[in-house]
Amino acid sequence: MGPFSLKYIVFMASIAVYFYRQNVANFIISNGFFREIINHHPGKCRVLNGIKGSEDMHQLSNGKVIITSDIGNIADPTNQLPNHKGRLFTIDLESVAKKLIELELPKELEASNFFPHGISVLERPGKFPLVYVINHPRLSSDRVEKLEWDINTNKLKYLKSFTDPKFTFINDLVVYEEDVFYVTVFLRSTSRFMREIEGTFKLPLGYVLLYNHGETSIQADGLSMPNGINLSNDKKLLYLAEGGSYNIQIFKRHGIEKLELIQNVPLHTMPDNISVDKNGDLLIGCHPKLIDVYFHLHDNSLISPSQILRVKIQNDRAQSVTEIFADNGNLVKASTVAVVNKNALLIGTIGNELLLCDIHQDYLP
């Protein structure tokens, strides 16, 4: 359709309308046009090869991490490359080798139509863990795949797929118990055009959905691009990354179907996925320049800075926010998630590198 594709026409038109609602200075500042990123790493870092993207990950209590890879063209799921191959990987952060291993997918999940996004794992005493992973299959509605992970053979067994009309554009999930999980609906709109509008305007149309044995209910609504979600180690608190508002929300759980908002934590950067470490503190993958990550979503060769924040949790409240990693995008582009184990920090991205960093003793405050 000429030199300008639909996505760029929509983007520029959206900016024009946005200026009527917001002043120019606020638009420039909030989207990080002139934000300078100063590199600082916790120690020596190296890129792990053999993986195409590492958008989300979950660390088990034994140090094994499961990672989603090759989410595909998340900006336009209907326009995917023909050689796409969705994959899941694992790495043991407590091993000396820290070798990246690809998991064997079940035959029910065709790799060419597997677009893994958010992931959560339910550990079971004496049994193999259950893996729940969001899938954006081509020409089909979003769904959650339920798998069993044989951690001895690294094979995955297909168990079930969960679908629901409210799964319009789901992003992340966290499992409470078997077949009960919270999931974030990042964008409510179903058409690509309206998703561009909703995302560019940061419209508060997203929500948190509870899936409870086949029944769904909205637990938190009026959210701007809700992204990462997780539970505290004791499952009493729910943590939510509201990407469009640049904050973390902390909810207290009252039973399964009631959430009470107890704290908003401003981050002044766009949060993506949330991990909870053994101490109960949060690690958050962030995008400090929203304008850069927008174009990176359409072309992952473009530079987009990376940032990892640590939120100290005490007495059910966030006590401090510390930046523990930052990179201008030359080493690692568009960080989405991080986990820590002893002296190792693992950082995932939308569609590029997987980064492993050494952590100097006493680096984490």
Domains, the chain: 6-358 (2.120.10.30)
pTM above 0.85, yes or no: yes
Q: Which of 358, 269, 364, 280 is nearest to 318 (CA)?
A: 280
362 pLDDT above the threshold of 70: no
Averaged pLDDT, 357-363:
80
pLDDT of residue 33: 63
- The annotation places the binding site for Ca(2+) at 55-56, 119, 171-172, 227, 272-273
pLDDT of residue 189: 83
pLDDT digits (tens, 9 = 90+) for 212-259: 999 999 999 999 999 999 999 999 999 999 999 999 999 999 988 899
Which two tokens mark 222?
Answer: 């009026």
Q: pLDDT class for 1, splitting at 50, 70, 90?
A: very low
Q: pLDDT class for 27, splitting at 50, 70, 90?
A: low
pLDDT of residue 17: 67
Helix (H, G, I), strand (E, B) or coil at 322: strand
Q: Where are the beta strands (DSSP E) in 36-126?
A: 45-47, 57-59, 64-69, 87-92, 101-102, 116-124
Which two tokens mark 27?
Answer: 């638009």
Which carries the bigger pLDDT value, residue 19 or residue 47?
47
Averaged pLDDT, 163-187:
96
pLDDT of residue 4: 57
**Cα–Cα distance between 293 and 307 in angstroms, integer?**
12
pLDDT of residue 19: 61
Percent of the chain residues topping a pLDDT of 70: 88
**Cα–Cα distance between 11 and 38 in angstroms, integer?**
28
DSSP 35: P
Does residue 254 carry a catalytic annotation?
Answer: no
- The annotation places the binding site at 55-56, 119, 171-172, 227, 272-273
pLDDT of residue 7: 66
C-alpha dihedral sign at 203, 120, 138, 74: positive
DSSP 39: P
pLDDT of residue 11: 72
C-alpha dihedral sign at 331, 75, 240, 201: positive
Which carries the bigger pLDDT value, residue 1 or residue 323?
323
CB of 53 closer than 8 Å to CB of 352:
yes
Q: Where are the beta strands (DSSP E) in 100-246?
A: 101-102, 116-124, 127-135, 143-150, 155-162, 169-177, 180-187, 206-212, 215-223, 226-231, 237-242
21 pLDDT above the threshold of 70: no
77 pLDDT above the threshold of 70: no
CA atoms within 13 A on the CB side of 349: 28
- Angle 227-31-11 (CA atoms, 0-180°, nearest 5)? 85
Averaged pLDDT, 118-129:
97
Cite the DSSP H helix spans in the chain: 6-21, 24-30, 192-201, 290-298
**Cα–Cα distance between 68 and 323 in angstroms, integer?**
24
Which two tokens mark 185?
Answer: 């609906």
Which carries the bigger pLDDT value, residue 349 or residue 203?
349
Percent of the chain residues topping a pLDDT of 90: 72
pLDDT digits (tens, 9 = 90+) for 143-156: 999 999 999 999 99
Catalytic residue among 41, 58, 117, 287: 117
Least confident of 66-80, 126-140, 172-186, 322-336: 66-80
**Cα–Cα distance between 160 and 329 in angstroms, integer?**
38
- Angle 339-345-351 (CA atoms, 0-180°, nearest 5)? 70
CB of 67 closer than 8 Å to CB of 90:
yes
CB of 120 closer than 8 Å to CB of 174:
yes
pLDDT digits (tens, 9 = 90+) for 283-339: 999 999 988 988 888 888 899 999 999 999 999 999 999 999 999 999 999 999 999
